[in-house]
Amino acid sequence: MPQNSSRAVGRHFLQIPGPTPLPDRVLRAMDTPIIDHRGPEFAKLAKRCLDGIKTIFKTSNPVIIYTATGTGAWEAALVNTLSAGDRVLMVETGQFATLWKVMAQKLGLRPEFISGDWRTGADAAKIEDYLRKEPIRKAIDAAGHPALLMVDTISSLASTDYRHDEWGVDVTIGGAQKGLMLPPGMSFNAISDKALAAAKSSKLPKSFWAWDEMLTMNKIGFFPYTPATQMLQGLAVSIEMLHEEGLDNVFARHARLAEATRRAVRAWGLEILCRDPKYYSPTVTAVLLPDGHDADAFRNLALDAFNISYGASFGPYAKRYFRIGHLGDVNDGWQVGALASTEMALGLAGIPHKKGGVQAAMDYIVAAHSGGARAAAE
């Protein structure tokens, strides 16, 4: 924004990979009087949420809803199923994997960390060295191993296909502030029968996170302590919106915006941080800047000039990349606008790049839509 102005005009381009922009409909659903969380109206709301969230995780088992960010749901997953000294196999895919490992250590668990360079995903072949055969679930079963499979889907749930039951996951950790298009402050544990059984013998101390009390109270439509009523009002509506669009359409939209963004980055002649297309994220693209250019300075300049925020950088590549989010309530035109702002910001910052990224993104989006139209007509 100009230096002599204190107002940023228009909508902020919140291109961080969560929290994501809130749809007006979710905002309005939350802008309602507080209801009694022990009353009959609440029980109806809780039922909508507790039943609805199962369709998002694709599970017929209960899903626990916590008033906490994703980190709380990580802790819940660990303390409900494990005991001091238990070993946890983890893969160093990036920042969050590293934080989760540190948490496991703090809780008195023994993480075994398969190291990585932050530029690829979890490699089943490397896990095979530990657990014999891929894919991961099969490896665990084939080894006759009592291990539980836990998956952090905070940045992917409700943005790309995910099937808790079918894929044999024991605890799935989710968060509200990404694909679910809600404010931060709510997170989830979807749990398998095996995880429930493990909870019976788990010895790590737990109170707030304990699944058993939650499950008992949830059965009658209530929570053991004051639930985040307004977040639940929003959640009921966000689940409704996802189904109105159709989950498969939600996933296709995220895949399309992700590919359009990558095409823009390549057309600019810049490098995508992720080395292997197999591990590309449908929700965020990290862009490496040429040597000698500070990504934090670039983000600040883009924010000032074009009212756009990108995800920050961490770890071994800190200050060398910025992340463009493409998740949540984002459509084609919005993402193209974000890419146009980015192309302008690259120009303004004097970062060497080629023009035509926005055009490449638009060409891809048009082709994706006309392919879809043709397929529908056939």
Give the interface with ligand PLP as residue ranges (CB under 6 A): 18, 69-71, 96, 152, 154-155, 175, 184
Query: Least separation, in Å, of the C-beta of 93 and ligand PLP?
Result: 9
At its nearest, how many Å lie between ligand PLP and the CB of residue 167?
Answer: 17
Q: Which lies closer to ligand PLP via its Cβ, residue 52 or residue 325?
A: 325
Q: How far is the CB of 121 from ligand PLP (least distance, A)?
A: 11
In whole angstroms, give the CA distance from residue 200 to residue 111. 22
CA dihedral 348, 354, 357, 358 (to 10 degrees): 50
Nearer to ligand PLP (CB atom), residue 190 or residue 361: 190
Q: Where are the alpha helices (DSSP H) in 176-285?
A: 193-201, 211-219, 229-245, 247-268
Prior bond of 146 cis (ω within 30°): no
Contacts of residue 361, defined as CB under 8 A and 6 or more positions apart, other chains included, come to: 260, 261, 263, 264, 267, 335, 336, 339
In the complex, least distance from residue 151 CB atom to ligand PLP, rounded to whole angstroms: 10
Of 71 and 359, nearer to ligand PLP (C-beta) is 71
Question: Nearest Cα to 64, choosing from 235, 179, 218?
Answer: 218
Q: Across the beta sheet with 171-175, what order do the strands follow?
A: 63-66, 187-191, 171-175, 150-152
Q: To the nearest whole angstrom, how small is the minimum distance from the Cβ of residue 317 to ligand PLP?
A: 17
| Residue closer to ligand PLP (CB basis): 71 or 307 | 71
In the complex, what is the shortest distance from the CB of residue 155 to ligand PLP, in angstroms, rounded to a whole number? 3
Cβ atoms of 324 and 284 within 8 Å: the answer is yes
Cα–Cα distance for residue pair 179/251, rounded to 1 Å: 10
3-state secondary structure of 322: strand
Nearer to ligand PLP, 114 or 143 (CB): 114
CB nearer to ligand PLP: pick between 184 and 221: 184
Closer residue to ligand PLP (CB): 96 or 222: 96
Q: Which is nearer to ligand PLP, 49 or 154 (CB)?
A: 154
Can you tell me the distance from the alpha carbon of 264 to that of 62, in angstroms, rounded to the nearest whole number? 41
CB of 184 to ligand PLP, least distance (A): 6
Q: Where are the alpha helices (DSSP H) in the chain?
A: 24-30, 40-57, 70-81, 95-106, 124-131, 136-142, 193-201, 211-219, 229-245, 247-268, 295-306, 332-349, 357-377
5 residue type, one letter: S
CB of 73 to ligand PLP, least distance (A): 8
**Which residue's structure tokens are 């490699």?**
123
Tell how far CA 248 is from the center of its chain.
Answer: 17
The Cα 345–Cα 265 span in angstroms is: 13
| Least separation in angstroms between CB 144 and ligand PLP | 30
Closer residue to ligand PLP, CB minimum distance, 186 or 239: 186
- Between strands 308-310 and 87-91, the pairing is unpaired
